[in-house]
A = this chain, B = another copy of it.
Amino acid sequence: MSETIFALSNGYIGIRGGFEERMGGNESRSIDGIYLNGFYESVPIPHAETGYGYALNTQTMLNVTNSKLIELYLEGEQFNLTRGTIIEYKRFLDMKNGCLHRNLVWRSPEGREVEIKARRVVPFAHRHLVAFEYRVKALNFSGKVIISSYLDGAVENHVHEEDDPRFSAALGGLGLKVKRIIADEEPVIMLQETQRSKLTLVCAMDHSLKDGPGAVKEISRDDHSVAVNYYFDLNEGETVGLEKYASYYTSLDYQVADLAGLASEMVTRGRAIGFNVLLEEQQGHLEKLWETASFGIDGDTALDQALRFNIFHLFQAAGSNGRTGIGAKGLTSEGYDGHYFWDTEIYMIPFYAAIMPEEARKLLEYRYSILDSARERARVLDHPRGALYAWRTIAGEEGSSYYPAGTAQYHINAAVAYAINKYIEMTGDYSLVLEFGAEIIFETARLWKDLGAYIQRKGNRFCYNEVTGPDEYTALVNNNFYTNLMAQWHLDYAYETACNLRDNYPDQYKRLAEKIDLDQKELQAWKQAADDMFIPFDGDLQIHPQDDGFLDKEPWDFAGTPSERYPLLLHYHPLVIYRYQVCKQPDVILAHFLLNDRFSLDQKCRDYNYYEPITTHDSSLSPSIFGVMASELGFYEDARWFFDLSARLDLDNCLKDTHFGVHMANMAGSWMNLVYGFAGMRTTGGSLSFKPYLPEGWKGYRFGVRFKGSRLKVEIKGREAVYSLSDGEPLSFQHRDKEIFLAGGEKVVLSLD
């Protein structure tokens, strides 16, 4: 698990927090890995009983060339933490500069004592570079010391856990193969290739020796690895320090012929910059982000730490180049095959739009880059027009092998449109719509029009049958509330966007309308379908049923369910789970959060009180949303409980699956829990508002957001809220019912009461 917690990433390269040296001993508990965002193998999906239109391949993020490996020999004794004696040991992550430290003192079985200080950093400023520092001090002996630094190409993805669908599909023997090693001199270079998709990866490494006595250097290699070996004569009390630079380039971004040159240049440059300067650069980059996020909780160190940790991972995951997204686990492990899901849009983009809007934009560009795949997928699903995004994918192809909780979740289309709107609400950057956003919005809206139907027996309303909503403990239902509501919003939004373009950007509109064959009649049909949308409501209970049949099911027997049978999905057949009223995560409640102004507080309250008790929160997507809504409804105890769970979900391994990687969506959710929950931020219709309160036991908390070019800091202290604006654009917003106007550099102090 700590390999996940200590994972570093710059959004392109991700490296788990394992040791530099091989684990030794029982390796079953270790998942070692280095990953490149967007770099995958296409693996055939074995359908025991196949069906028309089933996903044929899944794209699996590959564990790439191991550049982390460094081995140490003391007079022939190999350093290995599973042998000898650990006298001192400390591993820590410095979230100010993104540096992972490991300091230890070890006594070998034969009594030699060494101090080892290892550091590593994955520079944001150099996306293709990773840098290691490895310092060894002989404490009680003098003698021959060897440090061998490797590129190891014998990498595999880790075997999936057979009974757990959440981890990863079997890659079988489809790992990277070593094609060539160039090892005449440094930088040494390893060229690897994927077996099916024939993508090429080049990894180079270079070294720089700091401190210590002169060394003899020798390069060795075998079929699948190459090492640079340093031979020292070390005296007691002396230290050697080795800096190692590794670089990754792939044929996804560059010509195969250029890869070796690029990687070689990169490590040479890294070496020239040096480890300490890289760290300084990294700190500079992070300082700006921390300044924007301006985060703190006063009065609860554990939660302050937890949320900083989550925000740090969000910083680390950001690095989209417009052709890559952010996986459910970021680049911290192989869980879910490294796939991108809808939660990037619904959970993460609100964070990025508020802190790193350029990242939010890139993530949406990525969706545009796979729009053609989404169009193809729609055709397979028999829709003559429009686009349907893959439920899980890397390069666009649907990779979900269990369609009832995969492809049936059509609501991913609305998630993408919603995120575009959220981005525009937060940034005011309408150019995104003009450049590519409109095409996404329209093509995905078309799917909604084609998927639904006017159903006579439903008062001739527009209905969606045979869909799955966000809650995965119910599948293949008619009129899922969330789906219908989001489709309605999406169709309206597409109509309004089209009208706006038509009236205000006629040239762009004309070009796009011609490209995708869009006419006024189709726009009207969208509007009409939205107007006529069937929205499930139960008159007796005065709640929104999750779907047409939901209330006709028996309640789950929570009292008779022992705690060890959670999460339910690992302990009950889907036929059992689906038969009952039981939710894995928010569905109606998520719709309340996303389309907050559509429902009265009373209505939200009734729905919350109905669904919260039947929700297991077995999904990491659950607590943050319930937390935000609990805050809005004044259920402060609930709100706090959900916030605590969401904040420390990975640090405390609450779901017992952090070894599969951190839960990126929840990490962003925990930030929303504070900003949208405790501080009551909303951006509906592009208007910023806050309804902050102070959770019991805290002295205060603070956060920053970027909004339409302005940088606002919000600080809650005791019974007061302090809003301060950086120099720049003035900003209007609401504090509770009060309209506030702040000019650049101004600050206002307002009462919470």
Listed in ascending order, the chain A residues whose CB lies under 8 Å from chain B are 45-54, 58, 162-165, 169, 380-382, 400-404, 406-408, 453, 455, 457-458, 463, 465-466, 475-476, 478, 540, 548-549, 551-554, 569-576, 578-579
Please report the C-alpha to C-alpha distance between residue A576 and residue B554 in the assembled complex, in whole angstroms: 28
Contact between B58 and A48, CB atoms less than 8 A apart? yes
- Contact partner, A381, options B169, B553, B576, Cβ 8 Å: B576
Chain B residues lying within 8 Å of A402, measured Cβ to Cβ, are 48-49, 51
Q: Indicate whether A549 sits within 8 Å of B465 (C-beta atoms), given known contacts A50-B165, A169-B49, A401-B49.
A: yes
Q: How many copies does the complex hold?
A: 2
Please report the C-alpha to C-alpha distance between residue A671 and residue B549 in the assembled complex, in whole angstroms: 40
Of A47, A406, A552, the most chain B CB neighbours within 10 A belong to A552
Q: Indicate whether A457 sits within 8 Å of B552 (C-beta atoms), given known contacts A48-B58, A163-B50, A401-B48.
A: yes
Please report the C-alpha to C-alpha distance between residue A45 and residue B162 in the assembled complex, in whole angstroms: 12
Contact between B165 and A51, CB atoms less than 8 A apart? yes
The 8 A-B pairs with the shortest beta carbon distances in the complex, nearest first, are A53-B573, A48-B401, A46-B46, A453-B554, A466-B579, A49-B402, A45-B48, A466-B578
Contact between B403 and A455, CB atoms less than 8 A apart? no
Contact between B575 and A403, CB atoms less than 8 A apart? yes
Chain B residues lying within 8 Å of A49, measured Cβ to Cβ, are 165, 169, 400-402, 406
Q: Indicate whether A51 sits within 8 Å of B457 (C-beta atoms), given known contacts A478-B552, A553-B478.
A: no
Contact between A162 and B50, CB atoms less than 8 A apart? yes
Please report the C-alpha to C-alpha distance between residue A324 and residue B32 in the assembled complex, in whole angstroms: 50
Chain B residues lying within 8 Å of A573, measured Cβ to Cβ, are 51-54, 380-382, 403, 407
Chain B residues lying within 8 Å of A552, measured Cβ to Cβ, are 455, 457-458, 463, 465, 478, 548
Min Cβ gap A599→B in Å is 23
- Contact partner, A52, options B46, B403, B463, B570, Cβ 8 Å: B570
Please report the C-alpha to C-alpha distance between residue A402 and residue B50 in the assembled complex, in whole angstroms: 9
- Contact partner, A576, options B48, B163, B382, Cβ 8 Å: B382
Please report the C-alpha to C-alpha distance between residue A576 and residue B54 in the assembled complex, in whole angstroms: 12
Min Cβ gap A139→B in Å is 50
- Contact partner, A574, options B47, B48, B403, Cβ 8 Å: B403
Chain B residues lying within 8 Å of A540, measured Cβ to Cβ, are 457
Chain B residues lying within 8 Å of A570, measured Cβ to Cβ, are 52
Min Cβ gap A51→B in Å is 6
Min Cβ gap A64→B in Å is 23
Known contacts A52-B573, A407-B573; 14 additional CB pairs below 8 A are A46-B47, A47-B48, A48-B169, A49-B406, A381-B573, A381-B576, A382-B573, A403-B575, A407-B575, A408-B575, A457-B552, A465-B579, A478-B553, A548-B552
Q: Indicate whether A572 sits within 8 Å of B53 (C-beta atoms), given known contacts A46-B46, A554-B465.
A: yes
Q: Indicate whether A52 sits within 8 Å of B572 (C-beta atoms), given known contacts A458-B552, A465-B554, A548-B552.
A: yes
Please report the C-alpha to C-alpha distance between residue A574 and residue B553 in the assembled complex, in whole angstroms: 24
Please name 30 pairs of A and B residues whose Cβ atoms are closer than 8 Å in the assembled complex, sorted by A: A46-B47, A46-B48, A48-B169, A48-B402, A49-B169, A49-B402, A49-B406, A50-B162, A50-B165, A51-B402, A52-B569, A52-B572, A53-B575, A53-B576, A381-B573, A382-B572, A382-B573, A403-B573, A403-B574, A404-B404, A404-B476, A408-B575, A453-B554, A455-B552, A457-B540, A457-B551, A457-B552, A458-B552, A466-B575, A478-B552
Contact between B52 and A571, CB atoms less than 8 A apart? yes
Chain B residues lying within 8 Å of A576, measured Cβ to Cβ, are 53, 381-382
Min Cβ gap A160→B in Å is 9
Min Cβ gap A128→B in Å is 33
Chain B residues lying within 8 Å of A548, measured Cβ to Cβ, are 548-549, 552
Min Cβ gap A706→B in Å is 39
Please report the C-alpha to C-alpha distance between residue A48 and residue B55 in the assembled complex, in whole angstroms: 11
- Which residue of chain B has the shortest Cβ distance to A169 in the bound complex? B48
Please report the C-alpha to C-alpha distance between residue A46 and residue B172 in the assembled complex, in whole angstroms: 12
Min Cβ gap A460→B in Å is 12
Please report the C-alpha to C-alpha distance between residue A165 and residue B50 in the assembled complex, in whole angstroms: 5
Contact between B549 and A549, CB atoms less than 8 A apart? yes
Contact between A553 and B465, CB atoms less than 8 A apart? yes
Min Cβ gap A375→B in Å is 16
Please report the C-alpha to C-alpha distance between residue A553 and residue B579 in the assembled complex, in whole angstroms: 21
Min Cβ gap A77→B in Å is 44
Please report the C-alpha to C-alpha distance between residue A522 and residue B575 in the assembled complex, in whole angstroms: 24
Min Cβ gap A750→B in Å is 48
Please report the C-alpha to C-alpha distance between residue A466 and residue B58 in the assembled complex, in whole angstroms: 29
Min Cβ gap A211→B in Å is 51
Min Cβ gap A362→B in Å is 29
Please report the C-alpha to C-alpha distance between residue A382 and residue B407 in the assembled complex, in whole angstroms: 27
Please report the C-alpha to C-alpha distance between residue A264 and residue B371 in the assembled complex, in whole angstroms: 68
- Which residue of chain B has the shortest Cβ distance to A548 in the bound complex? B549
Please report the C-alpha to C-alpha distance between residue A579 and residue B579 in the assembled complex, in whole angstroms: 19
Please report the C-alpha to C-alpha distance between residue A171 and residue B572 in the assembled complex, in whole angstroms: 28
Please report the C-alpha to C-alpha distance between residue A552 and residue B466 in the assembled complex, in whole angstroms: 11
Min Cβ gap A566→B in Å is 12
